[in-house]
Amino acid sequence: SNGTLLSRAKAESLVATGLPYVAISVDGATKEMYESIRVRGRFETLLDNLRGLAAAKQEMQRVTPSLQFNFVLMDNTLDEALLFIELMSQFNPHKFVFIHQDYVPPADDRRAKVESVLRAALAQCIQRRVLFEEVPGFCLTMNEIAQAYCCQTTVAPEVAPYCGDPWHFM
């Protein structure tokens, strides 16, 4: 979801059904960026909807649905990635997912910046005890991420790239 239609009534329904998690894609960490990308979207509406979901979970004394926040890495959003983590952390997310625009690796002239931002995002996620994922993994290896979380691993298994979302959302 992009969260724009998540009314309080819908939030209460999601919490009551016991849905395990919800993935919400957010287009920017500032009103200006968000509204420049999400045409007819209102940043404050998104935040109000997320507050409503958090309130419903608290009132019903539920921890689910867990929240996964997705953020697309584009030239114009890259500088907002860390602010995105800071802003969305108020909703106690389970995971932050950073997705490369069009699933294309960063160009050579900006790869170092993207890698730097992703490493800083990973560090923030660890500090906040939230999972981190880069989709697809162009810049950070599975081993690098696992080691950052202090997992004892020497070699990550080879995994064929695929989109698991259809299996998660069935």
Q: Got the DSSP string for 127-159?
A: HHT-EEEEES-SSS-HHHHHHHTT---S-PPP-
**Phi, psi torsion values for 22, nearest 5 degrees:** -130, 135
Stated pTM of the model: 0.88
Q: Measured between alpha carbons, how far is 167 from 111 in angstroms, rounded to an integer?
A: 31
pLDDT at position 157 is 56
Do the Cβ atoms of 26 and 77 come closer than 8 Å?
no
pLDDT in single tens digits along all 170 residues of the chain:
999 999 999 999 999 999 999 999 999 999 999 999 998 999 999 999 999 999 999 999 999 999 999 999 999 999 999 999 999 999 999 999 999 998 899 999 999 999 999 999 999 999 999 999 999 999 998 889 988 998 766 555 555 555 656 655 54
Beta-carbon contacts of residue 135 (< 8 Å; ≥ 6 apart): 97, 98, 99, 100, 103
Do the Cβ atoms of 77 and 38 come closer than 8 Å?
no
pLDDT at position 53 is 97
